[in-house]
Amino acid sequence: CDKYKTGVIDGPACNSLCVTETLYFGKCLSTKPNNQAKLGDQGNLSELVNLILTVADGDKDGQVSLGEAKSAWALLQLNEFLLMVILQDKEHTPKLMGFCGDLYVMESVEYTSLYGISLPWVIELFIPSGFRSSMDQLFTPSWPRKAKIAIGLLEFVEDVFHGPYGNFLMCDTSAKNLGYNDKYDLKMVDMRKIVPETNLKELIKDRHCESDLDCVYGTDCRTSCDQSTMKCTSEVIQPNLAKACQLLKDYLLRGAPVEIREELEKQLYSCIALKVTANQMEMEHSLILNNLKTLLWKKISYTNDS
């Protein structure tokens, strides 16, 4: 706010944050942003620049002031902000409500985890992970609603897979990064570990390694260790879709209608087995994704519970 009041930064959230004090934070993802995004050789670079300039013009006066430009530049150092701008019209990306300097505000999401129970961190410390996992499965929405949430995740995977601005990799595919609203539409609540593929390749290639375990970014973007050079390769082994299916396996199979359970399990395991290096991976990716969505939609399209 000091920077705003002296004119160093500007943005559509500054007034409500610093003057009227009407901006309320439901949850803060981080006070120490350290993810960096580069525009690099993203596809359609000129279109992307125009998109960023439109967002940077917070007061919509047709010009980007110095304060707005400084705010936008600071925000562009954050992977998730760049992704939010690119996917601002997509259903599963929370809407950007405003920014002030490198602080951005997005819409509130009612349920901020894939599972339906949230406990204070003090209690979490004393719950064994195995018991917590079982407990998580108990506190979930009804199966048709879970299916709708799962379809949302599959659609988000489509949104970030080789879109007009390049390919983005989901490097922390965990339940805590996904949420949903009161209509059971999936919303990505934390996109800090979704990175442009070009960035990841730069970050990980030539990293010294002893084994494949050394070639991991985030929690689950893995490449292999080239034993001849003792350096990480740049090609990620597992696509986003395979990781999404791994996350959804127990979530969807628990309580699944008996008439589709066997087919659902078969499709999920085919999905988990996907590898980036496989021949015709993109075609296989599309086929598996569409088959899964079709199976789920067919089952829930006539129920009131979705």
R_g (Cα) of the chain, nearest Å: 21
Instruction: Say what the pLDDT of residue 137 is.
Output: 61
Q: Which DSSP string do the residues of 131-192 spell out, in sequence order?
A: HHHHHHHHSS--HHHHHHHHHHHHHHHHHHSSBTTB-EEES---GGGEEE-TT--EEES--T
Residue 172: how many CB atoms within 10 A of its CB?
17
pLDDT tens-place string over residues 278-293: 677 788 899 999 999 9
Distance (Å, rounded) from C-alpha 215 to C-alpha 270? 25
- Where along the chain do its domains lie? 2-106, 121-198+234-300
Residues 299/257, Cβ–Cβ less than 8 Å? yes
pLDDT tens-place string over residues 238-275: 999 999 999 999 999 999 999 999 999 999 999 999 98
Instruction: Say what the pLDDT of residue 213 is.
Output: 94
**Side-chain-side CA neighbours of residue 301 (13 Å):** 6
Q: Which CATH architecture has domain 121-198+234-300?
A: Orthogonal Bundle (1.10)
Residues 93/87, Cβ–Cβ less than 8 Å? yes
Determine what percent of the chain is predicted with pLDDT higher than 70. 84
Which pTM value belongs to this model?
0.83
Instruction: Say what the pLDDT of residue 37 is.
Output: 47
Instruction: Say what the pLDDT of residue 304 is.
Output: 64
pLDDT tens-place string over residues 134-156: 666 666 889 999 999 999 999 99
Q: What is the mean pLDDT of the chain?
A: 86
Residue 60: how many CB atoms within 10 A of its CB?
8
**Residue bearing the bigger pLDDT, 130 or 187:** 187
**Residue bearing the bigger pLDDT, 34 or 251:** 251
